[in-house]
Amino acid sequence: MKKILITGGLGYIGSHTVVEFIKKDLYDVIVVDNNSTSETWIKQQIETITVYGNPQHLPVTENSPTSIPESPYGMTKLMSEHILQDAVKSSSLKVVSLRYFNPVGAHESGLIGELPIGVPYYLVPFITQTAIGLRDKLVIHGNDYPTRDGTCIRDYIYITDLALAHLQALEFIEMSNHDTHWHIFNLGTGVGVTVLEAVQAFIKATKQPLKFEYGPRRPGDTIEIYANFDKAKKILGWMPKTSLESMMLSAWNWEKYVRSRS
């Protein structure tokens, strides 16, 4: 049985990925984690959509230009891509860069999910913490963007769908005989959802009231972005399968489980 090292394997994305690798029963999975909010790696470089900045054309493809990112976090992602591209040119290293969009939700068991340290930065954990009473209200940052309801647009992808893509990417690397050792795949649903629509999807899925208000824009936020995942579908055989309401319900089940144990 092949050994595979998963660093960041106790984190949000890492833990869900570990589960899928164990279920596959093809690998001896070794997990390394420093119990912080570090990024997840699995023989590939894991990227995020922050490398695209504010795109001029939608949906974004893997060939969409990478601009100067809107945030320092995005800049670190773009720099790491450049470093790995150089490494591929000078060695036999094979790299798959997974550019995933906005992962949300929790495992269907309700036993693992996203548990941010301190005040959540991302939307869905802030929603669930507000609904359960840990936060007084949700603040939606900006309702004056040039979108259909004035709030930012994102592409929300279910965490388990995303985790499965890591497994399929590794299988692709192992079977690949291509001369090209550098591959990029977008991982999203191809559907742009406004922040307000995401809030409404949570309320509909969970039947929970949610107090929210609008606040000022948050520096560094991209106005609108969603994926073209045709390349991942064609080459990896990967497809997102989970509806937004199902994602929200899974996140809510996880939140209730966590608070029941505290």
Name the residue with tokens 């989970």.
242
Query: 41 falls in which pLDDT band (50, 70, 90)?
Result: very low
Structural contact between residues 163 and 16, judged by C-beta atoms closer than 8 angstroms: yes
Fold of the CATH domain 2-260: Rossmann fold (3.40.50)
Average pLDDT over all residues of the chain: 89
The domain spans of the chain are 2-260
pLDDT in tens, 1-24: 889 999 889 899 999 999 999 999
pLDDT, one tens digit per residue, over 167-225 is 999 999 888 776 778 899 999 999 999 999 999 999 999 999 999 999 999 988 889 99
Compute how many other C-beta atoms are within 10 angstroms of the C-beta atom of residue 194: 20
pLDDT of 124-163, one tens digit each? Answer: 999 999 999 999 999 999 999 999 999 999 999 999 999 9
Residue 50: per-residue pLDDT = 57
Specify the pTM: 0.87
CA 15-183-83 angle, to 5 degrees, is 85
- Give the C-alpha separation, 23 to 85, whole Å: 32
- pLDDT score, position 150: 98
* Token pair belonging to 210: 């949610």
Question: What residues pair up with 99 in beta bridges, in sequence order?
Answer: 47, 186
Phi, psi (deg, nearest 5) at residue 193: -125, 130
Q: Which residues are catalytic?
A: 73
Are 138 and 199 spatial neighbours (Cβ–Cβ below 8 Å)? yes
